[in-house]
Chain A
């Protein structure tokens, strides 16, 4: 184990503006990372399963998932990920503006790893991404070896 690989994020977000905000916030982070974005739930699953145009896609270390998506919504994407043996170990962070308790409860029922509200205000948005980035970087570094050995064994 020499250099830890850059953390790879997949952003599932239909709103171009908010996708750009997340991308901009990520650009300000000093650490190694990469970020891909898809605009709807079906593309997200295709990306994760390396289907269609995503054959070359890299397996993300973290999925950032919006809930209100066209066609297949975030909860359905979450359910699909968590019920797929090969995908369920990927941590999923819901990133939403929804304050509905039912949305949150459902996300946790579907084994979401974290549920974050998109904060209003630029600074808080930046610091949320920063926290998120740092936290999941550490999490991934810590569990990378474990994950790889698990995959080798499986």
Chain B
């Protein structure tokens, strides 16, 4: 494993981090811009309102003081009055008009620029390019004496607004940086598990190793995803192992089968060779024995092939399970062996009741037949000639047992006897397939088979099936 988790290296995860960062930048950036825009609008509006109020106040005061110069037609006194505006740098120009609308007195902060019209404007205020023109009537006792117009420059205000907006922009920029930093932390939280998942998936697909697991960093949805992913890997790994085991079993089966088919062939070819040799030498004393060996080997081979075919059929052909009375079936199997049983004086005890099993009847017959044949062959002799068949039921399982009182089987062989072609006793006839068939059938029905025995203490084979309800609930 070259990649270390948590270190971004691949395009897709990097782009995910970038996307999260971008999202943060755009979101916070748009926020900052909107706030600045709103601030600008409100600052401008506030500043203008302020300017109007301030200029109106100035105009009101000046209007009071301008009444006398107008009344006495004294423009110098008017200009003196207007000169008071010098105290406010924002008010750059002012003009007092007489009742006819002609300019009467002027004030100009910067003399070069004429910012006021030649005739008196209409009272009220007008926003012009960069300044405010405010006009009001000068009255005394309801007599209109003239008009006063003031021009207030907005430059000072503008620079104030710019300063405020500059501060807002700095604060906004800091906010964006902070949000980017937060987003970077956050993106690590999101990207790390995603990255770990991606790395793990890549290792699995590249190496086929289902043993790796993605590290889990959080308990959120990503954590759950990681858990689900790891669980999926668990299942794949388990299935993989099972498949591998099946393959090994299959391979072993093929080798075992070919070995057991080849053995009689070696025997046949060997003895045929000796037959020829003896015939060539004119020696006849061993011919009959050799021919007998060939016959026996051919018979053994035929039996091996038959058993193998039977074993292979079990996996494929299976009629639907039905309710089978084990006692009735057992009696029928015992009847098949009646000749051998009575000839050898064996006593078979069926300890009823036996359970009613939900199985394939032909297969169960095969199981009971093989176990009985086994007990008769290996478990009965002159001293011990009794075989007991019994049953038991629990809430979940049903059991059959077949017990003999023969030589018994040592515990270390208890697993081996169920293997294909495995035989403990080669003195007697047999291919070592019978118990393999029993095991296969019982396992196909979801049950299990085992043996309890000790050397010299007889042997009991148990088969146990899950109850039908338990079986269908599991299915």
Within 8 A of B (CB), among A22-51: 24, 39-40
B425 within 8 A of A: yes
Contact B266 A97 (CB under 8 A): yes
Contact A99 B255 (CB under 8 A): yes
Could you tell me the dominant secondary structure of chain A's interface residues? Answer: loop
Bound Cα distance A11, B293 (Å): 19
Bound Cα distance A52, B271 (Å): 33
Choose from A18, A98, A102 the contact partner of B267 (Cβ within 8 Å).
A18
A-binding segment of B105-113, B257-265, B316-324, B458-466: B257-265
Bound Cα distance A21, B258 (Å): 20
- Contact partners of A126 in chain B: CB under 8 A: 273
Given contacts A97-B259, A99-B255, A103-B255, contact A120 B413 (CB under 8 A): no
A109 within 8 A of B: no
Per-residue contact bits, chain A 113-127, to B (CB 8 Å; 1 contact, 0 not): 000001111110110
Bound Cα distance A95, B470 (Å): 50
What is the size, in residues, of chain A's interface with B at 8 Å between Cβ atoms? 27
- Contact partners of B314 in chain A: CB under 8 A: none
Per-residue contact bits, chain B 262-295, to A (CB 8 Å; 1 contact, 0 not): 1111110111111011000000000000000100
Contact A122 B276 (CB under 8 A): yes
Bound Cα distance A131, B293 (Å): 25
Contact A125 B263 (CB under 8 A): no
Contact A21 B255 (CB under 8 A): no
Bound Cα distance A129, B297 (Å): 21
Given contacts A97-B259, A123-B273, contact A39 B426 (CB under 8 A): yes
- In the complex, what's the smallest C-beta–C-beta distance from A142 to chain B, in angstroms? 31
20 pairs of residues in contact across A and B, judged by CB atoms under 8 Å? A15-B267, A17-B267, A17-B296, A17-B297, A18-B266, A40-B426, A71-B413, A98-B255, A98-B259, A99-B259, A100-B255, A102-B252, A102-B255, A103-B255, A120-B266, A121-B273, A122-B269, A122-B277, A125-B269, A125-B273
Interface residues of B (CB under 8 A from A): 251-252, 255, 258-260, 262-267, 269-274, 276-277, 293, 296-297, 413, 421, 423-426
